[in-house]
Chains A and B, each alone.
Chain A
Amino acid sequence: GAVVSQHPSRVICKSGTSVKIECRSLDFQATTMFWYRQFPKQSLMLMATSNEGSKATYEQGVEKDKFLINHASLTLSTLTVTSAHPEDSSFYICSATPARGRKTGELFFGEGSRLTVL
């Protein structure tokens, strides 16, 4: 149980285009999901907290107009990288914690999405 799925796993796009990444909790409901970014050989950095039915909370230094987050249901959050540039190329990982049940408080991660902006 507690599976988180991300799609797509890899995406290559041209500079200036927008890319949407989906994060789904497959077997549990999550009122909160988190989006992380990981550069090569570095640890994960929290970008934003996605709250179901309300606005996302962004970490300091993260542009909310560039990284649009939507959490329209208890099982789906999306991250849209708008007007992507090569410096946005990175590994994006989402995580979620069950809203209720035995595993509440434990974070489960998706497989990640590798974004390459040409």
Chain B
Amino acid sequence: KQEVTQIPAALSVPEGENLVLNCSFTDSAIYNLQWFRQDPGKGLTSLLLIQSSQREQTSGRLNASLDKSSGRSTLYIAASQPGDSATYLCAVRPMNYGGATNKLIFGTGTLLAVQP
């Protein structure tokens, strides 16, 4: 059974710092991995999608890496800003799940607070 874990559960940093969020998954048989941002009481905003054949994806100040063999992904945020404060969720699309193949298994999330 695929399990996704995120460390740390919460993180507080001063504005301007670079930071790394970690995501690990137990089964390397995945189609892709997706990072999301969730603001309090809101839905999810897709940040980056990494296909299983890719090693990393970049969008602006965000860079996500994927090491499928070790079951790890990192989300790097450069020059953090107070507006980056949110919960960050990673999710994998497993191959061995049966039925529809677009199911996602979510991690527990990292609550990020960027202090001005």
Inter-chain contact A43/B102, CB cutoff 8 Å: no
Number of A-B contacts (CB under 8 A): 62
Any chain A CB within 8 A of the CB of B74? no
Determine which of A105, A109, A111 lies in contact with B32 in the assembled complex, contact meaning CB atoms within 8 Å.
A105
Inter-chain contact A112/B103, CB cutoff 8 Å: no
Interface residues of A, dominant DSSP? strand
Beyond A49-B100, A57-B99, A107-B102, whether A112 also contacts B108 by CB under 8 A is no
Interface residues of B, dominant DSSP? strand
Whole-angstrom CA separation of A91 from B40 in the bound complex: 11
Beyond A43-B106, A44-B89, A105-B32, whether A110 also contacts B43 by CB under 8 A is yes
Whole-angstrom CA separation of A105 from B102 in the bound complex: 7
Task: Tally A residues with Cβ within 8 Å of B.
Answer: 25
Whole-angstrom CA separation of A97 from B104 in the bound complex: 12
Inter-chain contact B104/A107, CB cutoff 8 Å: yes
Any chain B CB within 8 A of the CB of A93? yes
What chain A residues lie within 8 Å of B103 (beta carbons)?
A: 34, 46, 49
What's the least CB distance linking B26 to chain A, in Å?
A: 15
Interface centre among B49, B100, B109 (most CB of A within 10 A): B100
Inter-chain contact A106/B46, CB cutoff 8 Å: yes
What chain A residues lie within 8 Å of B99 (beta carbons)?
A: 49, 57
Beyond A49-B99, A51-B100, A114-B41, whether A109 also contacts B107 by CB under 8 A is no
Binding site for A on B (CB under 8 A): 31-32, 34, 36, 41-46, 49, 51, 89, 91, 93, 99-100, 102-109
Binding site for B on A (CB under 8 A): 4, 6, 32, 34, 42-46, 49, 51, 57, 91, 93, 95, 97, 105-112, 114
Q: Which 8 A/B pairs are nearest by Cβ-Cβ distance?
A: A109-B44, A111-B43, A112-B43, A43-B106, A109-B43, A49-B100, A44-B106, A106-B49
